[in-house]
Amino acid sequence: MAKKMVYFFGGGKADGKADMKELLGGKGANLAEMSKLGVPVPPGFTITTEVCTHYMKNNGKYPKDLQKEVNSALSKVEKIMGQTFGSPQNPLLFSVRSGARVSMPGMMETVLNIGLSSKTIPGLIQKSGNERFVYDAYRRLIMMYSDVVMEKSSGIEVPEGKGIRHQLEREMQKMKDTKGVENDTDLDAEDLKKLVYIFKKKVKQILKKDFPDEPNEQLWGAISAVFQSWNGKRAKAYRAIEGISDDWGTAVNVQTMVFGNMGSDSATGVAFTRDPATGENIFYGEFLVDAQGEDVVAGLRTPQAINNESKTESSKKLPTLEELMPENYKQLVKIRNKLEKHYHDMQDLEFTIQEGNLFMLQTRVGKRNGAAAVRMAVEMKKEKVISETEAILRVKPEQMDELLHPMLDPKSEKKATLLAKGLPAGPGGGVGQIVFSADDAEAWAKKGEKVILVRDETSPEDVHGMRAAQAILTAKGGMTSHAALVARGWGKCCIVGCGALNIDFRKKTLSVDKTTLKEGDWISLNGTIGSVYLDKISLMPADPDKNEYYKTLMSYADKARKLGVRTNADNPKDSKQARDFGAEGIGLTRTEHMFFGPDRIKAMRQMILAEDEAGRKTALKKLLPFQRKDFEGIFKAMDGLPVTIRTLDPPLHEFLPNDDAAQKEMAKQMGISVKDVKSKVQSLHEMNPMLGHRGCRLGITYPEITAMQAQAIMEAACKVAKAGVKVFPEIMIPLIGTVKELENQKKVVQEMAEQVMEKAGIRVKYMVGTMIEIPRAALTADQVAEQAEFFSFGTNDLTQMTFGYSRDDAGVFLPEYVEKKILPNDPFQSLDQTGVGQLVAMGVEKGRSTRKDLKVGICGEHGGEPSSIDFCHRVGMNYVSCSPFRVPIARLAAAHAALKNK
Ligand code: ADP
Ligand code: MG
Ligand code: MG
């Protein structure tokens, strides 16, 4: 390894700079950048991430010349500081800090006060004239070092609460209790001296090793521990969730200590250049007097606000930094302005004041919630800090989600009692009374109650109750379970896979450990993070239409994007909702959803039970007016915009009841014997229903179904057209594998359409097109396009059939596939661009080779997922279609796609 391994920073200079994050980690790169900017940063050096990967690959061995490079950087620091590491007279102390390419808050380790030993302690006491400070620093060193270096990095596994750090904390608490004091700062030098003695004994007793008294041993111990913390349990788990590569490694920053714990003119704090909760352009921060860095985050003492704007309920009576240390505050404000201007983005800062001198310890792009991200982007554009393009790219499409759902009031949520945790399947907050069945949910909701439907898992038969509920909570199932998919589609709060729940459906109780809740008890869900709380927490409503920042950002996005954005909606209410969110039409109406209502299912079942065509036609006649009315509503809601309606898709058995009780009920309703019902259900049973008698195959064997649906669509269209509504029906035939299938169904539709328009005495422009969801359709898209006036890629089925995974059964193995990296992610969530994507790209190209102006869209779940939307842009689709609540996400994602692929 001939490359440079150690990068120095300090004294207004630095070897590195901000864009070297891969090598120096975010923290190191920004420490270098700040040094260069002339911001006061304690000098130090960064050991690169390459050393980390070398260390990992070579079983904890360092590259040959590392020691030399470290020593030379160390002397540079000593020179600037006029102090020497390990010197008894004038000792220099270091912090050893982790810092990966992207920030992994709290996941890796940092050790402060490295270099304190029996040799250096007297010198530091003499120099500082502050014995208490020195022993406070020393007890902190012992706490952090024994935890991070001696315990964690040596791989010792201890049960929760039994670690060395907890044990030392308990000793400290004992001492405070004996003294009858509350705060750490109430312990004096003598107390701390005693405590240090107790600590060392405890360390020896528990870890069977002496606390190292050699500064150099401490330094290298800490460096190795930080490298190893990259492979710590927490860090690994965090990387898995955030999709961060295990190969990046962390850098190590060795930096001169500055002390916020030297008395009342010293302090430490964190600040954001803008309010990360609201996005407002105010300086926002907290600090503690006479403290070291970790105290602010640890919540041991109540932090004070840096200024009046930052005051909270708990800090409102405490003096601010502006009041206590006005000069330092002014200086901090200047640095805030400088850094924000330099980085063009909101920064998250760490600072320490040592005896009236301000030092900056960190700056990085600050994390923010969705609402704040939008406001900052728009305001920074208006302040000319960033361009319109940057403003659009600043906000992650997924973040729009947060603006569209009511949320639990964060302040009340903090105080609430957590009952259990599950998977965050549907975002936002949900508050309601527990019910245990879909029917109860519906019944209670009708009475005006707010309910949360709690089930082991849900099935399509629960949909009415899921709809009626404020939120859905299931004990089983993953992110692709039925409950999760349905809730996501509706934008409803939902938590799934909450394994701690014990549901007794018959007794109508729900218990977690010793807590038992019964029907009617209140709970609150935060579906964005998967937390279930006891009792009622207040909700904050979402109303994006009142949010000027949101509207402005969306107007930027709409200007930038090339893709149209439509919605998948099956009823007028969802259509209107989607239109309010900016949908430019409907990309998919699933007509079968209209057959499930209580008044319709009977006619549907009659149709299925009919022995012959005549019997089916009689039943279909009953369904016709229902469908027509639904379509009228949708056309009106989408006045002026295209509406794609798919003819019947699922296998017929989905409309028949499966359990005994329901079959009896049905027999009674239909006036036939239970035996007949059972035998019909039996006869419709298929080995592979998803590959069976469904989609256009139904329409080909029972053309009267397609005819009835075409009639309903065209009659509705003619009727509203007469009333002045602009309609553009696009009739879509599902599950085509060969052009002949489409030709057959198109003929049925066209004949009916002509008949209806003739009778109505009005002509309506309509189209007949098809879903491309069977691989063969994509492979022969040139032929299919000769018949199809438009394509819509049904990527759910296309993924299912290309991989050969049944989507309904994939939950058993898919999560493990992703975990074992056999698949990069769930292909039902984000489109598999390498495989399925080839079929899509080929389908578009071949289709347009025979029909130049072929309109192409996508209507699978992927139509609302940003990386898939980027793909749709690249293959030249005309639009994406997604569920109503994902429309704003898709608009922004489409803009990102256009800007990134310029
Ligand atoms: P994290 O990545 O978890 O934020 P840091 O490396 O930033 O860890 O360190 C944690 C805390 O330790 C910081 O908040 C900072 O206040 C304090 N700290 C780190 N280095 C120094 C230093 N050289 N002097 C004083 N305090 C420091
Ligand atoms: Mg930090
Ligand atoms: Mg399908």
Q: What is the DSSP string of 697-752?
A: HHHHH-HHHHHHHHHHHHHHHHHHHHTT---EEEEEE-S--SHHHHHHHHHHHHHH
Question: What is d(CA 142, CA 579) in angstroms, rounded to the nearest whole number?
Answer: 61
Q: What does the pLDDT look like over 575-589, one tens digit per residue?
A: 999 999 999 999 999
- Residue 242 clears pLDDT 80, i.e. is over it: no
787: part of which helix (H) or strand (E)? helix 781-787
Q: Which of 54, 482, 862, 873 is catalytic?
A: 482
- 293 CA from centroid of ligand 1 (Å): 6
Q: Whose CA is nearest to atom 14 of ligand 1?
A: 293
Question: What is d(CA 73, CA 82) in angstroms, rounded to the nearest whole number?
Answer: 14
The per-residue pLDDT for 368 is 84
Q: Report the atom number in ligand 1 closest to the C-alpha of 106.
A: 3
Closest CA to 711 of 642, 641, 617, 788: 617
- List pocket residues of ligand 1, CB cut-off 6 Å: 42, 95, 97, 106, 110, 112, 255-258, 268, 293-294, 350, 352, 361-362
Mean pLDDT on 246-262? 95
The per-residue pLDDT for 298 is 61
Task: Give the bridge partners for 418, in sequence order.
Answer: 533
Closest CA to 456 of 433, 437, 441: 437
| Listed range (286-295, 345-354, 795-804, 891-900) with the worst mean pLDDT | 286-295
Q: Whose CA is nearest to atom 26 of ligand 1?
A: 293
Between β-strands 515-518 and 509-512, what pairing exists: parallel, antiparallel or unpaired? antiparallel
Closest CA to 140 of 169, 173, 105: 169
Q: Report the atom number in ligand 1 closest to the C-alpha of 351.
A: 16
Q: What does the pLDDT look like over 726-753, one tens digit per residue?
A: 999 999 999 999 999 999 999 999 999 9
Under the banding of pLDDT at 50, 70 and 90, the label for residue 119 is very high
The per-residue pLDDT for 313 is 67
Under the banding of pLDDT at 50, 70 and 90, the label for residue 316 is confident
In the chain, the N- to C-terminal Cα span, in Å, equals 39
What does each C-alpha distance from 533 to 255, 438, 676 come to in angstroms? 42, 21, 48
Mean pLDDT on 236-245? 79
The per-residue pLDDT for 277 is 75
* Of 345 and 540, the one with more pLDDT: 345
- Residue 1 clears pLDDT 60, i.e. is over it: no
Q: Which ligand is nearest to the CA of 351?
A: 1
Mean pLDDT on 195-205? 97
Q: Report the atom number in ligand 1 closest to the C-alpha of 259.
A: 25
Q: Can 54 be counted among the known catalytic residues?
A: no
For a ligand 1 pocket test, name from 21, 47, 97 the mutation site with the most ligand atoms within 8 angstroms of its C-beta. 97
| Listed range (85-94, 306-315, 474-483, 774-783) with the worst mean pLDDT | 474-483
Under the banding of pLDDT at 50, 70 and 90, the label for residue 665 is confident
Q: Report the atom number in ligand 1 closest to the C-alpha of 268.
A: 16
The per-residue pLDDT for 155 is 78
Q: Whose CA is nearest to atom 15 of ligand 1?
A: 293
SS3 sequence of 477-530: CCCCCHHHHHHHHHCCEEEECCCCCEEECCCCEEEECCEEEECCCEEEEECCCC
What does each C-alpha distance from 130 to 93, 188, 213 come to in angstroms? 16, 11, 21
Q: Is 689 exposed, middle or buried (0-12, 13-18, 19+ CB in 10 A)?
A: middle
| Listed range (60-64, 196-200, 232-236, 608-612) with the worst mean pLDDT | 232-236
- Residue 457 clears pLDDT 90, i.e. is over it: no
The per-residue pLDDT for 159 is 76
Q: What does the pLDDT look like over 293-314, one tens digit per residue?
A: 777 766 567 789 999 998 876 7
Mean pLDDT on 42-53? 97
Q: Whose CA is nearest to atom 20 of ligand 1?
A: 95
The per-residue pLDDT for 300 is 63
Amino acid at 1: M
Q: Can 498 be counted among the known catalytic residues?
A: no
Q: Tell the residue number behind the tokens 């209502």, with chain if given.
A: 597
Question: What is d(CA 742, CA 404) in angstroms, rounded to the nearest whole number?
Answer: 39
Under the banding of pLDDT at 50, 70 and 90, the label for residue 598 is confident
- 361 CA from centroid of ligand 1 (Å): 7
Q: What does the pLDDT look like over 347-397, one tens digit per residue?
A: 999 999 999 999 999 999 988 878 889 999 999 999 999 999 999 999 999
* Of 827 and 457, the one with more pLDDT: 827
Contact 102, 26 (CB under 8 A): yes
Mean pLDDT on 445-472? 90
The per-residue pLDDT for 479 is 67
Per the prediction, the chain carries an average pLDDT of: 93
Q: Which ligand is nearest to the CA of 735?
A: 3
Q: Whose CA is nearest to atom 23 of ligand 1?
A: 257
Contact 324, 334 (CB under 8 A): no
The per-residue pLDDT for 252 is 97
